[in-house]
Structures are given as structure tokens and as C-alpha cells.
Chains A and B, each alone.
Chain A
């Protein structure tokens, strides 16, 4: 089955710097890769997603890149702000239902003012 590895597990940056989180997946049939942000004690919320027919997608300060050949995808946050501090999860769609996602282990991002 699908397996998703995410790193780093923790990331600390200064406000205004960029942050990059990387994930790899195992199932070449996976075609959907979302990123969720989870603040402490809160629900995971989708921040950006990408499908396998696209190599890059950008939404303001957030971008995601996908390399299908290497089976890895990355989240890029530019001009980080303290409110970006949270745990970020990557995921890949696994076999089965449209919402059956296999999540990475999470990256705790800390943005220091």
C-alpha cells in the first residue's frame, strides 16, 4: 500500500524567512497530494493541494511542487509569519475512496518573531 514519509519533523525559522517541508510517497498510482495545517488542539485544514497532472501550484505565500518521477512533493512557505506556526501534514491519496488519504508524520513549524 501507499506509504508517505515527511521531513523534517520539526522546523524553526525566523519571521520573514522561507520554510520548506518535503514528502516522499511510494505508490506511483497516487494522483492527489494535499497539505493540511493543524494548529494545537484544532482540526486539520486544507491549505493547498496538487494533482499529478500539474508540477507546481502557488497560492499567495504558499506553493507546492510535485516530482512524479522521483515520487516526492514539497511545500514552500515564503515570508513566514508567527501565525504560520502549526503542524503541517502532507498526504497522498491511497487506493480506495476519493478521501482515503495516507498522511505523513507531520512537521512542527515554529516561526520566531
Chain B
């Protein structure tokens, strides 16, 4: 695709509900990242996939958060028992594989509001 695509763009849910956010990276990008951006803050790292495996999930705040990338392309971020504090914009980014750090291509984000 032309860029990183994220769905839904907006999600409103009630406290305690389960939510899934989807990310479709740029074709050919093997590295995929999830970040969370709260209002007025910079993006905060959550998890990094290299191919199908989660290479670094040190940013996931607790065990209510989980992410998968079963075929090495599309990724889903799953949040169980949502809390009001989970409200934020969830950004997905992809990049070309490589050891050297390089440009991250971000999606437009999924804005999650937990009532």
C-alpha cells in the first residue's frame, strides 16, 4: 500500500470492554512498531515486531495489552478490560529491516476513548 493503514480511526468503548486495533504496514516492511500517544505527549513505545515475532514487548504497560502479527504483515493490538487511562491515540509504524535505526513510517493512528 501507499502508507501505513490503521483501523478503526476512532473507537469509543465502555470501561471493561475488549478492543482490537489493526495495523497494515507498508508492503515489504518487516519491522512493525506500536506506540501510544496521550494528549500533549510524545509517542511512547509499546512493542516491536521483526517478522512474525515480538522482538521487544517491554513497553506494554501490563498484561491487559497484547499484540500479534501472525503472518508477518498485518498486526493487531488487543486490549482487554479497558480502563479510562487507556484512552489515547495508538500509532503503528513500520520500517525496512536493518540493524541501523532509520525512518519510521507512522499511520494516522487509532483514537481510543474509554468512557
How many pairs of A and B residues are in contact by the CB < 8 Å rule? 73
Q: With A32-B101, A34-B103, A42-B108 as given contacts, are A98 and B95 in contact (CB-CB < 8 Å)? A: yes
Q: Is B61 an interface residue (CB 8 A)?
A: no
Mark contacts of A19-47 with chain B using CB atoms, 8 A cut-off: 1 yes-contact digit, 0 otherwise. Answer: 00000000000011010000000111110
Majority SS at the chain B contact face: loop
Q: With A43-B107, A43-B109 as given contacts, are A96 and B48 in contact (CB-CB < 8 Å)? A: yes
Interface residues on A, range: 20 to 34
Within 8 A of A (CB), among B28-59: 31, 33, 40-45, 48, 50, 55-56, 58-59
Q: Which of B31, B42, B58, B107 is the one whose CB lies under 8 Å from A106?
A: B42
| Residues of A with C-beta under 8 A to B56 | 96-97, 100
Known: A97-B48, A98-B95, A99-B95. 11 other contacts (CB 8 A): A6-B42, A34-B101, A44-B91, A89-B43, A96-B58, A97-B31, A98-B100, A99-B33, A99-B101, A102-B45, A103-B42
